[in-house]
Amino acid sequence: MKNRIKQLLTTIVCILLVIHVQAQQQIREGKLTIDGNTYEITRSSSGPYYLVWNMDRSELRPNREMVNGIPLELANTKMTNKNELMEVVCEALGAEKRAQLSTQKEKISGWIYYRGDGSVINIVFKVIDHTKLTLNDLFKIEETFKTRFKANLESVGNLHQHLYHISFNYEWNFDQ
Amino acid sequence: MPLWNLYKNANTPKLTAIEVPIVQTRSEISIYNLDQQEASSEINLARAKKSFTRLLYYKQGNKTGRQLLVTYVPEYEYIMDKKDSYQKKNIQLRSLASLNYSGYVEYRELNGKKLSVLLFKNGQLNRRYSVKDRSGQGPPSSPRLWQQLSGSLGSMDVSAYGGGANCDWVCVPQMVLICTGYMEAGDNPDEDCDWYESDYCNYEYVCDDSPPDYPDPDPPYDPNPCSDPSMYWMCEGNDDPGSGGNGSTDGIKTTTLSPSEKLLLQEAIDSLDNKCGFKTIYNKVMTEANVEIRMGVTSIAVYNPDTKTITYNENIPEYTLTNVGTLAHELFHVYQHQLIYGATMEGLSPNHINIEFEQIVFQDIVKRISNGPSEVGDMFKQTTIAGFTDAKDQYKLWIDTLTSNGAAYPDLNSISGFDAAYMAHLNVYKIYGHSSYISSNVIQNMLPSALKQLFNNNLDCNN
């Protein structure tokens, strides 16, 4: 009887594991949806990489050229808290995933689009072909940034506040 | 923040100079009392409230100009004597004699380094002090009290002028002005600001540099401005600010700019020093080209090859003239035209994509090395066109490769396949680039000669 119960429990655990793994969407070329967010995943022409980008780009319309007669290109926007980005990524991924990335010497690069107030619109991710990351991981990173992070932005005459979007490149390395 | 439109003329017979009021949300003022005993906190506070700082810009001939901060700290007796007639706006270098000013005038660099402190009595220069940089040494381990030191400094053995015997540590009370709220030009800073006396005095190593017979009670007329006591600081000593400047300005004419516009442009020129690639272009234009900078009607700024002029937007000089990126952008066009492409460039439409993309690559190489990777590829703008991410990412990678990930300026002539790679990225930029540039057609046989002649083996930026 005891053996029967043990066998049953093992089977249940295995089924749950399979369900969990299946829920984790592997990164592959195409358009994948997770929690209502559709991501466009394309192959990079530079080598074995994928480029992953949320398809909700409604806020990425062309920036205005001028406000009150001042060209917004003169904003010269700077971000002063870039060093906080890595903390947010680490928090989103958790220790286990970070360890996997570190072992594989895998890094993530790309750029983040911010609103004038410093909040995050969306993120472009570039990951390697056989990445340890799933789309769920990238979604979690993006959601964590959207809900928990604000860039400190400075510009000439605070012109950046009139921009619809501002982008800064990043590269996250998990070796350390 | 300087209030450029409120500048005051501070010219001397030899120097072009202006004083510009500045708005500060926090400032720290040294309440010098070098020839008297220690004063009470109330007196220090009263003097602090009547003290103020201006930006001083001056230049000699066609040398590059220089900026300093000049702080006026009136004596308590002077404030009491003048009462309501004491107005900060009336006090300036050229009015010290006519106002019978009694107090200190402190000159320091924009980075805070103090140069000299002059004491005026009834409008006449009374003593001249210099504040020496003794950072790291600190005051004596058992510093004497301020009143003892001030007494000794005030009665220094002036026969030892020029030697170290006239120097000593002095405790100078510090008053700190902290303003809250948002201030605009014209606001009265007294309304939103409070003065605080710092708990700790500032130990300064002060030297009395006054010569033995100084001041001369009956000075003869001398046309040399360096003999003018109020300009004494500009002409003597190792820290002679009048000798400042970097080379000639023959290549860039600014004769039609107003003094305040020249000052604004100077801000951008000074910022070039932080980016070797930008500075190299500036030096090339200065020595091998000629261009006139004017104000006029344009969006931001534009270089016209036909007239060899750079025209800045006349309506917003405080935004355009101060922008180092704009200056480097237009100077690169001067370099492209006058040193490389000549008539070929004159025949191209404004904002031609070949000319502009080469300028963008120039800026991105400099930015990658000076600022890191975060802004590279910013000029790819067409986010809604398919393939945008790949195009921008490829370009970023290319700039990383050219600069060894930001470690060094490249020798483009030694990079195999550079021309082909450049043209490939240019053709991609035609699709995804800045809307002002992508309307023109790419000239496929116009290779990036300007970049290759700039970033070559002779570029002196990697040392």
Q: What is the ipTM of this complex?
A: 0.88
Query: Is residue B145 classed exposed, middle or buried when 0-12, 13-18 and 19+ CB atoms within 10 A define those classes?
Result: exposed
Residue B446, Cα to own-chain centre: how many angstroms?
38
Find, in chain B, the residue whose alpha carbon is nearest to that of A73.
B300
Per-residue model confidence as pLDDT tens digits over A38-95: 999 999 998 999 999 999 999 999 999 999 999 999 999 999 999 999 999 999 999 9
Residues of A in contact with B375 (CB under 8 A): 168-169
- Interchain contact A86–B (C-beta under 8 A): no
pLDDT at B2: 76
Beta bridge partners of B302: B311
Maximum Cα–Cα distance across chain B: 82
Q: Of B428, B361, B438, which Cα lies nearest the Cα of B388?
A: B428
Find, in chain A, the residue whose alpha carbon is nearest to that of B313.
A70
Whether A169 and B300 lie within 8 Å, measured CB to CB: no
State how far the Cα of A12 lies from the Cα of B400, in Å rounded to an integer.
Answer: 51
Between strands A49-54 and A120-128, the pairing is antiparallel
Q: Which helix (H) or strand (E) holds B107?
A: strand B103-108
SS (H, E, C) B141-201: CCCCCHHHHHHHHHCCCHHHCCCHHHEEEEEECEEEEEECCCCCCCCCHHHHEEEEECCCC
pLDDT at B181: 59
What mean pLDDT is predicted for residues A17-32?
76
Query: Is residue B238 classed exposed, middle or buried when 0-12, 13-18 and 19+ CB atoms within 10 A define those classes?
Result: exposed
Whether B389 and A51 lie within 8 Å, measured CB to CB: yes
Kindly write down the DSSP assignment for every residue of B197-254, as one continuous string. Answer: E-SS-EEEEEEE---TT-S-SSPPP---GGGSGGGHHHHSSTT-GGG---S--TTEE-
- Interchain contact A124–B (C-beta under 8 A): yes
Strands (E), A55-133: 66-67, 70-71, 78-79, 107-114, 120-128
Separation in Å, CA of B372 to nearest CA in chain A: 10
pLDDT tens over chain B, length 463 residues: 777 777 777 766 566 778 888 877 677 888 988 877 778 888 888 898 899 999 888 776 666 677 888 899 999 999 998 888 888 888 888 788 788 899 999 888 887 888 788 888 888 878 878 777 665 555 554 443 333 333 444 433 322 233 345 777 888 888 888 776 555 555 555 566 787 777 667 778 888 776 655 555 554 444 444 445 455 445 433 333 333 333 333 689 998 998 889 889 988 998 998 899 999 999 999 989 999 999 999 999 999 999 999 999 999 999 999 999 999 999 999 999 999 999 999 999 999 999 999 999 999 999 999 999 999 999 999 999 999 999 999 999 999 999 999 999 999 999 999 999 999 999 999 999 999 999 999 999 999 999 999 999 888 887 6
User: Phi and psi (nearest 5°) for B449?
Assistant: -65, -35
Query: Is residue B213 classed exposed, middle or buried when 0-12, 13-18 and 19+ CB atoms within 10 A define those classes?
Result: exposed
Residue B161 burial (CB count, 10 A): 17
pTM for the structure as a whole: 0.63
Mark which residues 44-63 of A lie under 8 Å from B by CB: 44-46, 51, 53, 57, 60-62
Q: Which helix (H) or strand (E) holds B426?
A: helix B418-432
For residue A13, name the pLDDT band (cuts at 50, 70, 90): low
Beta bridge partners of A99: none
Residue B139 three-state SS: coil
- B315 closest CB neighbour out of A45, A69, A169: A69
Q: In whole angstroms, how large is the CA radius of gyration of chain A? A: 20
